[in-house]
A = this chain, B = another copy of it.
């Protein structure tokens, strides 16, 4: 049990559902009276001993929900969040792109828990908008760039694929451009916009390896796979065959227990664990086996890094080890001193998270955070660390270490190598400044 060093931390209730007699019963421990009283009275409330103890005025209205019949089951065949949670939504960054069809909607990491992203809050990045495709009409074609590379070119229906052996795996997906604004010292205000092109789900589908085996792929000559999307952007990416052979690459139709959402590529997307989101081709319509990289537009002209010497860093698809504190984070305010639960997310495209360190003084001193279980490969890991805020200025940072021993770099270390003109592949340590007034803001140190 962490010691809660700030007893005043708990504000007393401004209202209470107990009447005077019940409050006295609570405090004197007369159980029988208390029990009947509560079962009977439901929500009766009045000024009571508990309130006098706190010096707060109590509200007199009873609670209707404790005295009435509620909503029926299956009021909605498909449930939705509370009306009080409508502010927690994915949001577009206005003006980020010319048209909203070729844009981004960020996940609200500041209000999310654990590692699973509710599918309604999964981030969006489309190159030419999203479509709700009819799964009975959708097809996946599998062919070789040369008849010797794949013996049996085939066209699969979604039903065909759903009859094959399926696997379910929890993995993160991060856009290669996540945290991209920070390269140029643009301190985006909230974690939703700095790191919100990040989500994590349980994906279900068929191993691409099984399908290529079935089609008679030649793995000796066919060292590359081309994945092609069905939308108007004609998105294509090269996938190295080693990733397919590992069994990790999936033709996925399921996400968090149900079919993929339209914005996430329904009815079929590629899942390439550890690799940037653009390679997780949505509305997947074709897989080709080839004997050389394809040099597709989205890997030669985009998703590349402009280095200090003016050259381009290409084919860097793996999302390196990274972490971010999601609370407290930019835009939030600490209302009073005392105990806070520092929490955030860590992930690595190369394996599992081994350790996360947290600093409250801008990186001078570090403490090791607690990792929530399960800790899975190429999946988000939730970390947390108890912190007592003394009311003074602080700079919060998290630093992740993955199972390869790689340590997440400070922004200045990353800039020393990669410069300031990139858009993609920023995995630097994020700094949140806490002002003496409690306001939290994004700073670059």
Residues of A at the B interface (CB closer than 8 Å) are 1-2, 4, 9-13, 15-18, 26-29, 31, 34-35, 38-39, 42, 50, 63, 65-75, 77-86, 88-92, 99-101, 103-105, 111-122, 124-126, 128-137, 139, 141, 143-149, 153-157, 159-160, 163-170, 201-204, 209-210, 213-214, 228, 230-232, 234, 236, 254, 256-259, 261-263, 266-267, 283, 285-286, 288, 290, 294, 339-341, 343, 372-374, 376, 382, 384, 386
Contacts and interface: CB of A to CB of B under 8 A. Distances in A.
A92 B114 contact: no
Given A153-B27, A266-B82, A214 B4 contact: yes
A26 B153 contact: yes
Which 6 A-B residue pairs are closest in the complex by CB-CB distance?
A70-B129, A77-B89, A72-B100, A114-B168, A113-B254, A29-B146
Residue of A67, A104, A204, A266 most packed against chain B (CB within 10 A) = A204
Nearest to A104: B73
13 contacts: A26-B153, A27-B147, A31-B290, A34-B288, A38-B234, A50-B155, A71-B131, A72-B100, A74-B91, A74-B105, A114-B202, A118-B258, A169-B372
A244 to B, nearest CB: 12
Given A79-B121, A82-B259, 18 more contacts: A13-B141, A15-B137, A16-B155, A17-B139, A17-B141, A26-B143, A29-B147, A31-B288, A34-B288, A72-B99, A72-B103, A72-B129, A78-B90, A84-B267, A116-B202, A121-B257, A165-B341, A170-B374
Contacts of A236: 39
Contact of A81 (B111, B146, B230, B259): B259
A18 B266 CA distance: 21
A134 B84 contact: yes
Contacts of A139: 13, 15-17
A69 B232 contact: yes
A261 B365 CA distance: 40
A386 B131 CA distance: 33
Contacts of A113: 166, 168, 202, 204, 254, 257-258
B79 A382 contact: no
A39 B133 CA distance: 19
Nearest to A142: B26
B132 A82 contact: yes
Given A82-B259, A112-B257, A114-B256, A147 B28 contact: yes
Given A146-B29, A382-B168, A13 B118 contact: no
B121 A78 contact: yes
Contact of A68 (B111, B122, B228, B232): B232
Given A13-B157, A210-B1, A261 B80 contact: yes
A227 B116 CA distance: 28
A197 to B, nearest CB: 11
A104 B72 CA distance: 9
Contact of A118 (B153, B209, B230, B256): B256
A83 B145 CA distance: 36
A160 B29 contact: no
B372 A374 contact: no
Residue of A121, A340, A386 most packed against chain B (CB within 10 A) = A121
A288 B25 CA distance: 12
A387 B442 CA distance: 55
Contacts of A75: 130, 263
A33 to B, nearest CB: 11
Residue of A63, A103, A203 most packed against chain B (CB within 10 A) = A63
A122 B79 contact: yes
Given A35-B294, A147-B29, A256-B118, A78 B80 contact: yes
A26 B154 CA distance: 10
Given A1-B213, A17-B285, A71 B101 contact: yes
A64 to B, nearest CB: 8
Given A29-B144, A103-B73, A104-B73, A39 B1 contact: no
